Amino acid sequence: MKALDEQDHYEILEIARAATAEEIERAYRMTSAAYADDSLALYSVFEADDAGVMRERIDLAFRVLSEGDRRREYDEQLAQRGGAAAHSTARHFSAESLAVEDGDLRTPSPPIPAMELPPSIEGFEDLETDGDDDYDGPSLRRARLNRGIEIDQISTVTKISSTHLRFLEEDCYDELPAPVYVRGFVSAYARSIGLDPQRVVAGYMAHLEVVRGGQRRSRPLGRA
Partner 1 sequence: MQPGLAATKQAARVVTVGGGKGGVGKTFLVANLAVALARSGHRVVAVDADLEGANLHTCLGARAPLASLADFVAQREDDLEKLLVDSPVPNLRLIAGTHANLGAAQPSQLRRVRLIRSLRQLDADVVIVDLGAGVHPAVLDYFLIGDECLVVLAPEPTSVENAYAFLRAAFYRRLRLAMVGHGVRRLVTQAMDQRNERGIRTPLDLLREVESIDPVEGRRFVDTMREFRPRVVINLVRSADDIKLGFAVCSVCRKYFGVDADYLGYVNHDDEARKSVTARQPLVDYQSNADAAVYLERIARKLAGALPAAPGAGALR
Contact set with partner 1 (CB under 8 A): 1-4, 14, 30-31, 33-35, 39-46, 54, 92-93, 96, 98, 115, 118, 120-121, 123-124, 127, 138, 141-142, 144-145, 147-150
Closer by beta carbon to partner 1, 6 or else 69: 6
Least gap, CB of 94 to partner 1 (angstroms)? 10
User: Is the dihedral angle over the CA atoms 160, 164, 165, 166 positive or is it negative?
Assistant: positive
User: Is the dihedral angle over the CA atoms 145, 149, 155, 160 positive or is it negative?
Assistant: negative
Is the backbone of residue 161 left (phi > 0), alpha (psi -120 to 50) or beta? Answer: beta
Closer by beta carbon to partner 1, 20 or else 39: 39
Closer by beta carbon to partner 1, 163 or else 198: 163
Phi, psi of 102 (to 5 degrees): -75, 155
For the chain, state the CA radius of gyration.
22
Least gap, CB of 209 to partner 1 (angstroms)? 18
Least gap, CB of 117 to partner 1 (angstroms)? 8
CA–CA separation, 40 and 146 (whole Å): 20
Least gap, CB of 72 to partner 1 (angstroms)? 27
| Contact of 110 with 101, CB cutoff 8 Å | yes
Strand-pairing partners, residue 4, are: none
CA–CA separation, 51 and 85 (whole Å): 22
| Contact of 205 with 137, CB cutoff 8 Å | no
Closer by beta carbon to partner 1, 128 or else 181: 128
CA–CA separation, 145 and 140 (whole Å): 9
Least gap, CB of 96 to partner 1 (angstroms)? 8
Closer by beta carbon to partner 1, 34 or else 221: 34
Closer by beta carbon to partner 1, 34 or else 105: 34
CA–CA separation, 110 and 173 (whole Å): 27
Least gap, CB of 120 to partner 1 (angstroms)? 6
Least gap, CB of 148 to partner 1 (angstroms)? 4
Closer by beta carbon to partner 1, 14 or else 25: 14
| Contact of 16 with 95, CB cutoff 8 Å | no
